[in-house]
Amino acid sequence: MKPYIYITRKLPEEVLRPLLDQYEVEMWEDENSSVPRDILLEKAQKASGILSMLSDTIDKELFEQSPNLKVVANLAVGYDNIDLAAANEKGASVCNTPDVLTDTTADLTFGLMMAAARRLIEADRYVREGKWKSWSPLLMAGMDIHHKTVGIIGMGSIGEAFAKRAKGFDMDILYHNRSRKPEAEETLGAKYADLDELLTQSDFVVCLAPLTPETKGLLQKEQFQRMKSSAVFVNAARGPIVNEDALYDALVNGDIAGAGLDVFEKEPIDEHHPLLSLKNVFALPHIGSSSVETRMEMMELCVSNIRAVLEGHIPNTLVNKD
């Protein structure tokens, strides 16, 4: 009997070809919704491998009910949706997809910052709604990016890739991270700052930190009030790092000028989300790594990791190395 692999989203068949001959593979076929919890638990009970998404909760309950489970391959860099302690207790490998999406996510983050600063989405709507009647000197005037100060919260690989793009726009780069990055300081001219200093000095504050117990809820009312009233906040990391009520109040009260958001506390959001009622908010549906090339490479890495574990080898991107 072939080992069974469950995939929690529909993926292209060509990506799965290396698995189809050796294993029994089943996917959740609805592209527009997450696999329901009861179905995930049911499928996990017989699975040797699971290819999961960041929105799937792979917790202690699931591991305890899955006697054959050897590997969980998460289609994301983050893996806070997976209970690592339970995986270790089970002896199951947990894998993610770092590195392959670094540049793609940095591109999107920089684009989101530009869109927020130069009001690109708002200007597009202005034209489409037939409001453009004449040229005027300050029509849809936004903020310059070049020669401004950007503060990066989270100087991992994506943060450094973003900083490279900022350097190309002659931006002054501050960063806050749990450890110093001497190489980035030397090659990019980035300067380490504590969080308060970064918030008060930056024209753009860009969050690219991982979600950890230390970063969850990091940005509250006090942090937004320390920012410049002309500043733009960008979050392409994880939603729970930010208190969204505090962000909403900061935008309404004029504590900051605008926000570009690719992530939210609870996803997906609907059209009634309070932040979407504000004209100075630019929102995307968590598409930081969403280029065709990168997503295909991420899927291929997940497939490779599953095969490696089930064939008795060490996977390329093992999270729980201990």
Helix (H) or strand (E) holding 16: helix 13-20
Task: State the pLDDT at residue 276.
Answer: 98
Range 281-309 average pLDDT: 97
Range 291-308 average pLDDT: 98
Task: State the pLDDT at residue 322.
Answer: 66
Helix (H) or strand (E) holding 52: strand 49-52
Residue 99: is its pLDDT beyond 90? yes
pLDDT band at 197 (very low <50, low <70, confident <90, very high): very high
pLDDT band at 33 (very low <50, low <70, confident <90, very high): confident
pTM higher than 0.75 for the full model?
yes
Range 206-224 average pLDDT: 97
In a domain, 321, yes or no: no
Range 186-201 average pLDDT: 98
Tokens matching residue 101 = 């999406």
Q: What is the three-class DSSP state of 249? A: helix
* 149 and 24 housed in the same domain: no
The residues pairing with 153 across neighbouring beta strands, listed in sequence order, are: 176, 207
In a domain, 209, yes or no: yes
Total tally of structural domains belonging to the chain: 2
- What is the domain range of residue 38? 4-98+292-310
* 114 and 222 housed in the same domain: yes
Percent of the chain with pLDDT over 90: 98
Average pLDDT, the chain: 97
**Catalytic positions, please?**
238, 267, 286
* 205 and 299 housed in the same domain: no
Torsion angles phi and psi, residue 208, rounded to 5: -135, 25
Residues 6+ apart with CB under 8 A from 206: 109, 113, 150, 151, 152, 153, 162, 234, 235, 236
The pLDDT tens digits of the residues spanning 124-160 come to 999 999 999 999 999 999 999 999 999 999 999 999 9
Residue 268: is its pLDDT beyond 80? yes
* 152 and 169 housed in the same domain: yes
Task: State the pLDDT at residue 31.
Answer: 81
Nearest to residue 303, comparing CAs of 84, 99, 7, 88?
A: 7
